[in-house]
Amino acid sequence: MLNPSKRLSRPLVWAFCILAIAASCFAGGLYVGRAGTTKAATSVVGDKTVEGTGSFPPAGTVDNKMLNFSQFWDLWKTLKLKYYDNVSEEKMFYGAMSGMTAALGDPYTSFFEPKIAKEFSDSLKGEFEGIGAEIGVRNNQLQVIAPLPGTPAEKAGILSGDYILGINGTSTEGMVTEEAVTLIRGPKGTTVTLKIGRLPKSKSPASKSAATSTKEEPIIKEYKIKRDKITIKSVILTWPKDGIAMIAVTNFNQDTDVEFKAAVDEALAKNAKGIILDLRNDPGGYLDRSTAISGEWVGDQVVVSERRKGKIIDEFRGTGNARLKSIPTVVLVNQGSASAAEIVAGALQDYGLGKIIGMKTFGKGSVQDYSEFDDGSAIKITIAEWLTPKGRSINKSGIQPDIEVDRTIDDYNENRDPQLDKALEYLVSPTTTTAK
């Protein structure tokens, strides 16, 4: 039986939250009810009751009338009788459900066995042990979406966009995120070795144009990372220049709206003349936190729309008081900005209330519904996609910056931040700052 569901706006897969921060699920008021079941037979295996072992699926759930569901049980019986070794019926059962979701070909639609589902729920508490990196699958390859500030992953030198080629000597070819999480996570103080493939970043516009003409080979290196307890502060206020407040939002978790409001209070109290909203490497989170933050600029206007099967089914409005509407604002984004971060950036860009500087965002603009079964297992299903107020799809497309500025590997190593420099330049003299 399915329990009341939650909505997820997190990029890629649930594994993000286990490795790095609180998951991006949020209350959406959506309820997935239990479909009627047709019980052709009921039997007992061990202490578990087996239901629905007939040839008929639940009424109204299958369009193809030629499908014979008794074939599933024929296969089950054949494996039990002929496989050379003892088989775990529980593994077969959960494996079949995982295979059904994987067949959809959507990296955001996943089935979780009870143990994994519990870890997912536990991660919502915002404290856990791991390396502090958001990961997911892009182009059928495990990839780092973003290392979180101050975490073991960042300290080890892991960067957004890195490909994870191996984990503790095991190749990740064809590996789903759930399996990767099982291998990467572990107790505080233990070590995990990641084989990383990193595409070299250009050092100048000239080298960039030359690099695009030939296929770049990744630089491969192994990183040994000591796991630690991960606790993420979601909002950080700094003053990179007199009168310019920079509010970095690392993720949209349970406390983000409260912390962000406090940062805005301080910025206004100190008469900030410009605001830099730093959403770089922010993998997203709770939807209502994104509408609360956006509302500090857009008020109660539409922040994001939800589209399903070509139709707008819902709109979500800002919940702030537009206190920052009249203050010049720059939003910093990069390839690690995703989901709720893209919602905020897209809204401010559409309303002309923030100049977007950096690199194109990740492009995770789909809605996930999360529901738990009675046995503790769970299902996360993509049910819709996000649109900006002007109707632009965030999913796969991402948010294109108004002013494109990269931050190269050399910039990181030398502690340079040309994206921040461009933001400060724009706020000081916006009329002379142009896109490159």
Write down the catalytic residue from 201, 355, 364, 422. Answer: 364
Known catalytic residue at 339: yes
The dihedral built from the CA positions of residue 309, 312, 313 and 315, taken in this order, carries a sign that is positive
Known catalytic residue at 350: yes
Distance CA 94, CA 414 (A): 48
Write down the catalytic residue from 257, 350, 377, 422. Answer: 350
Contact 417, 408 (CB under 8 A): no
Known catalytic residue at 265: no
Residues 116-121: contacts with CB under 8 Å, at least 24 apart: 116/178, 116/181, 116/182, 117/372, 117/376, 117/377, 117/378, 118/376, 119/18, 119/181, 119/185, 120/14, 120/17, 120/18, 120/23, 120/378
Write down the catalytic residue from 339, 366, 371, 377. Answer: 339
Distance CA 55, CA 65 (A): 12
Per-residue DSSP letters for 164-177? EEEETTEE-TT--H
Those residues whose C-beta lies under 8 Å from the C-beta of residue 58, and which sit 6 or more positions away, are: 35, 36, 37, 38
Of 249, 230, 226, 246, nearest to 238 (Cα)?
A: 246
Catalytic residues: 339, 350, 364
